Structure 1
Amino acid sequence: MEVMTDPRGHAAGGNGKGYGQGGSWRKAAAALLACTALHLPAPAYAQQAQEDEAAAEETTLEQIVVTAGGYEQDIRHAPASISVVGSETLERKTIVDISEAIRTVPGVNVGFGSDGTRGISMRGLGSGYTLILIDGKRVNAGATTLRHYNGDFDWVPLDAIERIEVVRGPMSTLYGSDALGGVVNIITKKGSDRWTGSLTSEFLFPSNDLTGDKRRLSGYVSGPLFEDTLSLTAYGNISKKDSGNGALSDGVSVPDGSNDVDITARLTFTPSDAHTFDLEAGYNRERYRPWLDPASTSTDSQTEIERATASLRHTGEWDFGTTTTTGHLERATNTSRLTDTEISVRTYTLDTKVVFNPIDYFWTHNLIAGGEIRHEEMDDPANLGRYNSVTGTAGSPVADAFTGALFFEDEIRFTDVFRMTAGLRYDYHENFGSHFSPRTYFIYDLTDALSFKAGWAQAFKAPNLRQLNPNWVTTSRGRGCGAVGGPCEMVGNPNLQPETSDSFEVGLYYDDGAWQGSLGYFYNDIKDKITSARVATLILPDGRKFVQQINVDRARSQGFEGGLTVPVHADWTWSSSFTYLLESKNLETGMPLSADPEYSIHTEVTWQAREALSFTASLDWYGKQVDYVQNPETLVAQNVSPYSVVNLSTKYDINDNFAFKAGVNNVFDSQPNSESNYTENGRTYFVSLTGKF
C-alpha cells in the first residue's frame, strides 16, 4: 500500500518520529490531557501534534487519481476500476520497463509477441485495446511499426514518474478510440519550488545468455529559474540492453537488444496564482540491435525508432471552474537499414476541458465538458506504396485522417453516500462518420470504508490508417492471415467500421486507511471485430495469398479480479492481486483473443526492517493459458502449462542523499514450456545506486 502524504509532504500515519505514532505523540497527548484537566493552556507542540494526527488520518483515506474522471478524485469514488502504482513502489524494486511496473495490477497481463516484443493486455482483450498516455497525452509511436518494438513503455525514466494510473475497462467517453480495453496514464513529477533532483545508475546481469545484460543511467532535475514565476523540469535516460541468445530458447523469438536515449524538458510559467503554462519538448530514440553496417548481409533486426514531441498546456482557474487546454505534436519515425525504408507518423492534437465548480441544482453536480481535434498523417512507402494484386494498383505512400470530438460527464451526488456518473462522447472521423460513446457508473458507500461500484459503458476502436487504406499490403508470417494460414499478404479495406463494445462491471472497494481491498466482475462484448477474411481474396500462381481485413467477428471476455493489502505488522505489509478469466475468445471461430492466462496471482511481502532498510519478496503465478501455433492450413490454439516467477529485492538508504538497491528477479529461472511462443526474462541479478539532492 502506498504511503500517502499531507500537503507538506510528511508521511501520513507517522513513522515513530515527531508527532507520528511513536512515543512523541503519546507524550504530546499526555501533556494535552494534563493541561485540559488543570485548565491550563495546552503546549504548542501538543496542539500541533493533535492537528498533525487529524490531518494524517484524513489524508490516509484519500488517494487522489485523475484518469478515471478527468479531474482529481478520491480513488474510492472514481467512476472506474482503477489502480495506482506509486513512486515508492517503483523505487523499491528493479523494473525493466513500465510494463513490469504494472504487471501485478488486477486484470492486467504482460505478454510477449511472436518476435519477443511486449504488450499490455487488460481483461483478456489484447494489447491493441490499451491506450498509453503520458500526463494525459496520447502516445502514438507504435503506429510506425508492426514488429520489433517493445511498446510505449520506456519513454519516461522511473526517476521522473510520480505515479502510474491504470484504468481497467472502456474509457472511450473521455479518451476516444483505442481506450476500449483500458488506459495506462504515466504521470510525471511536477515542478519544484526548490532545486531537487536524482541520478540513478542500474545494472542487470542475467545468469545466462537467454536474456541480455542491461545498463541504464537515468536522471531528473527540477527547480525555479525565477522564484514563484518560472521553473524548469528535465529528465532523461540512457540505456543499453544486449540481445538474448535465441539458440537457447528452443526456436522461440527473444527480444532484440536496444540502445535507448530519452530526454524531456518542461518550462512552467506561473504569471499568477490562477494561470499556469507548461511548455514541453522531448526526444526519444530506440535503436534495436544489432545495428549493423548497411553493407552487412545479416537478416537480423536493424530498426531505429525516433520520437519527438512538443506541447503547450494552459491551466486556468476561473470563477466557474478550471480549464485545461493542450496542444500536442508527436512525430515518430521507424527506420530500417535492412530494407532502406522509413515510416513516419505525425499526430497533431488540440484538446480542451472544463471542470466546473460544484453546481447545486436539486443535487450536487460535478460537471466536466470538453472537446478534441486530431489530425494524423502516415508516410509508409514500405506498406502503403506497394503494388496491390487485388486492386491492380499501387497506392500513395501517404494516408491521413481528421477526427473531432465533444464530450461531457456529470457526477451527480444524490446523497452523501450515493452518486452516479453519466457521460457521453461524440466522435467524428472523416473516413467512417459519427460515433457516440455513452457510459453510466454508480457508487454507493455501504460504510465509511466500503463502497459498492457498478457501471456500464459503450466504447469503440476505430480502424487505423493502414486497415482503412485499400492499397495497404503487408506480409504476415501467420497470425495476421487468420483461417487461411500463412504466410500471406494482408490487404486494407476502406469499408471497415469501428469495433464497438458493451461492457459491464460490478464490485466492492474497501479502504479503512490500513486495509485495502477490491473484488469485481467484468463482462465485455465486442462487435464488428476487425480480422482477416475466412478465405483468401486472391491466390497468386506462386501460392501467395492476399487476405483482406473485414468486420465479421464477435468477441467476448469476462472474469473476476481483485486485490488485498494487509498491514500484517507495523513493519510488514502484504499485498496480493488476482485475475480469473472465465473466457476470452472470438465467438465466431472459438479462438482466443490473446495469450492471457486463465488465472494469475501476484503476492508480495515487504518488511521494513529498519527505517533505512527494507526487503521485498514477490511471487507471480500464471495458470494455464493459450498461445497460437501454426499448421499448414490454419492457426490453432494450444495450452501452455502453468509456471511461476519469484523475485527478491532489498533497498538501503545509505543517508539522505544516497540509496542502494540489489536483488534477483526470476530467482528460479522459470520459463513457459518450450512449445509456447514467448519467453520470460531469465534469472537476473541487479544492483543500482541513486543519488539525490
Structure 2
Amino acid sequence: MKTMVWNRLLVFMMISTVMGVSVKTSEAEDVYKIQTMEDVVVTATRTTERIMDVPVTTEVITREKIEMSGATHVGDLIGKYITGHYHKYNGLLSPVGLRGFRTDAHGDDVKGHVLILVDGHRIGTGNAAKLNVDRIERIEVIKGPASALYGSAAMGGVINLITRKGQGKPSLTLSGDYGSFNYYKGRVSGEGEVNERFRFHAVTSYEDVDDYDDPKFGTVYNTWETKKNFGMNLSYALTSNHELRLGGNYADLTGGYPSWANFMTYGGYVKSARQNYDKSHGYADLEYNGDFFDKAVHWRALGYHLWDRNHWNYGSPDPESDQTKYTDTTWGTDHQFTWNTAPWNTLVFGLNLEKLEKESSGVSGGQPAAPFTPGMEYNSQAYFLQDALDVWNNRVNIVGAVRYDRFELTTRKPKTGTFASFVEKDEAYNHTSPKLGIGIKFLDELLRVRGNVGQGFKSPSADQLSAQYKTNTNVTYVGNPDLDPETSLTYEIGFDIFHDLLTFRTAYFHTDYKDKIVQTTTTLNGQRAVTWRNSGDAKIAGFDLNLAWAMGRTFHWPLGLSLWSNVTFNTTKKDEETNKDLKYISDYEVKSGLDLQYNGFSAQLSYVLVGPQMIDNWDTWPATTEKKESFNFWDMTLRYRFANHWEVRGSVLNLFNDRVEWVRGYLMPKRNYLVGVSYTF
C-alpha cells in the first residue's frame, strides 16, 4: 500500500509538469543543471555537437547521476536510468537492451544487437556487469540503428562509455564503502593537470560481497563476488594542436552462481552449490588527436586491444575437472578524418580494421572435452562517410551517413575435445548501411522537430556461416554460407522543447526487423545435422518520452531540485511469421526521480517500473512461452561534501523491499544498505 501511494504521487507530479506548469526565468544559481540544448555529445555523429543539433534520440547519464546511483557497474546504471531492456542474472551477467534489441545473453560482443563502446571503440563485451563505473565521466546512449557509423550489432542503438581524462589541480582520493551482505570496497584514485601538457586520471579498487538475501527465498547461496579493478588515462599534448592519450582498464572478476533445489517449483537454493566463474576483462587503447590546415581538418587515430574471458567451473569437488573456457582477443584500429569544408558543412570519413580470435576449451570428468561452441576468427574492414549540413543560419540540420563492412569469418577447431571430423572453413560477405536524419528548429531554438531513417545490421557468427564438423557423439554442425545478416530498418519522428527550466522530448519509432537467424535442422548425407537459416520478419514500434524540470529555479527556491522521467511505450512488438508478441520486450518502462542539491548536500530518490513481457519458461524442454508480470522498486541516495576534503554517503536500494525480478527465477537482493566515506588530498 505504501508503494502504491508513492507511485501515484510521482505520476501526479509528472502529469502536473506536462499539463500545466508555469515556467519562470530565474537569476538564481543553477545548482542542479538539467540537460539543455547547449550540452554537447560525440557519439551520434562521431563529432562534438550540441544535443540540439543531433537529429537522433540521444540520452546522457552524467557523472552526477553516476555518483548518485548507488550502482557499482554499468548494467545497473542502464537498468536505473535508460528505458529499453535490462536482463540481469545473478552471477555477474547483465545484458542490456534498447528499442527491442539487446546485447547477447551471455555477453558475447559480436553476437549482440546493441553495441557497447568505450571512448568510441568497441569495448569487447556485451555483459554490462563487467564494466566498473569509477572511471566513467558520462555515458551517451544513442537509441535506434547506428550501423552507418559503427557497423555490426548497432541495431537497437549504441552505449558509449566516455572515460575521465583528468582535470584541475592534481589530487588523490581515498575511499571506502561498506554495506549489506558484508559488502566492502576500497578505492584509491588520482587525477589532475600536472602542467600545460600532461594530465592524468587513474583509479584502483578492491570490491567484495557475500551471498545476498532476496525478499522471498532468503539467502541466495553462492552469489558471492570479488572484483579487482585498475584503470587509467594518461594524456600528453605534443603541441597545441596534437595530443596523445594512453588508456585502459583491467578487471579481475570472480564469483559464484547459485543452483535451485528444484527448477520445477523454485522452492529454494542449494546451500552447497559450488559453481563459480572467472569473467575477467580488459582493454588498452592509444589515441592521437591532431588538427591540420588551420584546424580545418582533424585526424583521430585509435589503436586498441580488447581481451575478454568467460570461464565457468560447474561445481565438481575438483574445480578443474568440469569446466568451459572462452577467451576473446581483439586487435583493432580506427581512423577518422573530420573536414570542416565550410562553416555550414562538416565531412567525416574514415576506416576501421579489426581481428578477433575466440579460443574455446573444455574439461569433463577431468578429461579434455569439446566446449559448447568452437573457436572462431573474425577479420573485418569498414569504411564510413558522413556529411552534416547546418543551413538557414543553423535552423536546419541534415546528417547523412553510409558505411561499408566486409567480413571474413573462420570456424576454428577448439583447443580441446575429440571430433569425428572437423574442417576449418572460411566464408566472406559484405554489407552496406545507410542513414539520414533532419532536424528543424523554431522559436529561437525553443522547439525542434526531427526525423531520421536508418538501417542496422548484425553479422552472422563464424560458425553460423562456416561450421563443418561432427562431434564424437555423432552430432553434425554445418554452417550456411547463404545466410544474410539480420537487418533492421527504422524510421523515427519526434519533437523537443529545450528551455533553461524545462526540457521535454518525445519520439515515435517504427522498426522492420528482417532475416532473424535461427538454429534449425537439415539432412546431410542422409543424416540429421544442425544448421542455421534466416527466418521471418518482425515489427517493433513505440514512443520514447523524456522530461527534466528544474523545479528549484522555477519557484526561486534556495536549493537545486530537479524532476526527471524517462518513459517508453512499446505499442507494437509482433513476430510477422507467428503473429505473436516478441519476447523480452516489456509493454512499458518508467524510470523517474527527484534530484536535490543544497550547498554540499545531495540526494536522489529514483523509481523504476517495468511492465509485462512475454518470456521463455525453461522449466520444461522444450521451453514454453508465458507472460511475466510487471515489477517496480525505489532507491534513495544521500551525499554530503564538507570541509573541502571530506565526503560521506549512504544508499538504500530497493527501499520498500519489493520483489525485483529482471529475469524470471533470478530474484535480486531485498532492501539493502550502503555507506561510504572519501577523503581528497
TM-score, structure 2 as length reference: 0.79
Matches of 1:232 and 1:378 in 2, distance apart? 33
Name the residue aligned to 2:175.
200
Matches of 1:334 and 1:662 in 2, distance apart? 33
2:140 aligned residue (165, 175, 191): 165
1:317 aligned residue (291, 295, 311): 291
Matches of 1:441 and 1:460 in 2, distance apart? 18
2:571 aligned residue (582, 597, 605): 582
Matches of 1:375 and 1:275 in 2, distance apart? 28
Q: CA deviation at 1:627?
A: 1.9
Matches of 1:245 and 1:94 in 2, distance apart? 18
Q: Deviations over 1:103-126 (max 9, x none)?
A: 344542212359783221111223
Gaps of 5+ in 2: 1-25, 104-111, 259-270, 314-318, 409-426, 554-558
Name the residue aligned to 2:503.
516
Name the residue aligned to 1:658.
646
Q: CA deviation at 1:332?
A: 2.4
Q: Deviations over 1:110-165 (max 9, x none)?
A: 123597832211112233311111111211145xxxxxxxx23443333x221111
Q: CA deviation at 1:348?
A: 0.8
Equivalent residue of 1:303, what SS?
A: strand
1:371 aligned residue (344, 348, 351): 351
Amino acid in the other structure paired with 2:298: T
Name the residue aligned to 1:554.
537
Q: CA deviation at 1:214?
A: 3.0
Q: Is 1:569 the counterpart of 2:569 in the alignment?
A: no
Amino acid in the other structure paired with 2:93: T
2:246 aligned residue (279, 295, 318): 279
Equivalent residue of 2:52, what SS?
A: helix
Matches of 1:397 and 1:513 in 2, distance apart? 55
Coordinate RMSD, CA, aligned: 3.6
CA 1:255–1:678 in structure 2 vs 1: closer, same or farther (change >3 Å)?
Answer: farther
Equivalent residue of 2:149, what SS?
A: helix
Asked if the contact 2:91–2:257 (Cα under 8 Å) also holds between the matched residues in 1, the reply is: no
2:157 aligned residue (179, 182, 193): 182
Equivalent residue of 2:65, what SS?
A: helix
Amino acid in the other structure paired with 2:428: F
Name the residue aligned to 1:39.
none
Equivalent residue of 2:667, what SS?
A: coil
Matches of 1:223 and 1:673 in 2, distance apart? 41
Q: CA deviation at 1:640?
A: 2.0
1:462-473 to 2 correspondence within 5 Å? 462-470=459-467
Amino acid in the other structure paired with 1:157: V
Equivalent residue of 2:76, what SS?
A: helix
1:679 aligned residue (653, 667, 675): 667
Asked if the contact 1:259–1:289 (Cα under 8 Å) also holds between the matched residues in 2, the reply is: no
Q: CA deviation at 1:553?
A: 2.8
Amino acid in the other structure paired with 1:110: Y
Paired residues, number: 594
Name the residue aligned to 2:428.
432
Name the residue aligned to 2:401.
423
Q: CA deviation at 1:425?
A: 0.4
What is the percent sequence identity of the aligned residues?
Answer: 22
1:595-634 to 2 correspondence within 5 Å? 595-608=584-597, 610-630=598-618, 634=622
Q: CA deviation at 1:515?
A: 0.6
Matches of 2:470 and 2:507 in 1, distance apart? 42
Q: CA deviation at 1:633?
A: 5.8
Amino acid in the other structure paired with 1:303: Y
Equivalent residue of 1:140, what SS?
A: coil
Matches of 1:86 and 1:213 in 2, distance apart? 29
Amino acid in the other structure paired with 2:386: E
Q: CA deviation at 1:442?
A: 0.7
Q: CA deviation at 1:631?
A: 6.6
Q: Deviations over 1:346-398 (max 9, x none)?
A: 111111001112426xxx21111111111111111349x9999xxxxx99954
Asked if the contact 1:287–1:305 (Cα under 8 Å) also holds between the matched residues in 2, the reply is: yes
Q: Deviations over 1:239-277 (max 9, x none)?
A: 1132346895499x9983221111123322212001101
Amino acid in the other structure paired with 1:132: I
Asked if the contact 2:216–2:659 (Cα under 8 Å) also holds between the matched residues in 1, the reply is: no
1:443 aligned residue (439, 443, 453): 439
Q: Is 1:403 the counterpart of 2:380 in the alignment?
A: yes
1:257 aligned residue (217, 221, 224): 224
Equivalent residue of 2:167, what SS?
A: coil
CA 1:288–1:114 in structure 2 vs 1: closer, same or farther (change >3 Å)?
Answer: closer
CA 1:222–1:673 in structure 2 vs 1: closer, same or farther (change >3 Å)?
Answer: closer
1:332 aligned residue (282, 287, 308): 308
Matches of 2:175 and 2:565 in 1, distance apart? 28
TM-score, structure 1 as length reference: 0.78
CA 1:60–1:627 in structure 2 vs 1: closer, same or farther (change >3 Å)?
Answer: closer
Q: Is 1:505 the counterpart of 2:479 in the alignment?
A: no
Q: Is 1:234 the counterpart of 2:213 in the alignment?
A: no
Asked if the contact 2:73–2:131 (Cα under 8 Å) also holds between the matched residues in 1, the reply is: no
Asked if the contact 2:549–2:564 (Cα under 8 Å) also holds between the matched residues in 1, the reply is: yes
Range with bigger deviation, 65-74 or 372-381: 372-381
Matches of 2:361 and 2:60 in 1, distance apart? 41
Matches of 2:603 and 2:68 in 1, distance apart? 9
CA 1:114–1:473 in structure 2 vs 1: closer, same or farther (change >3 Å)?
Answer: farther
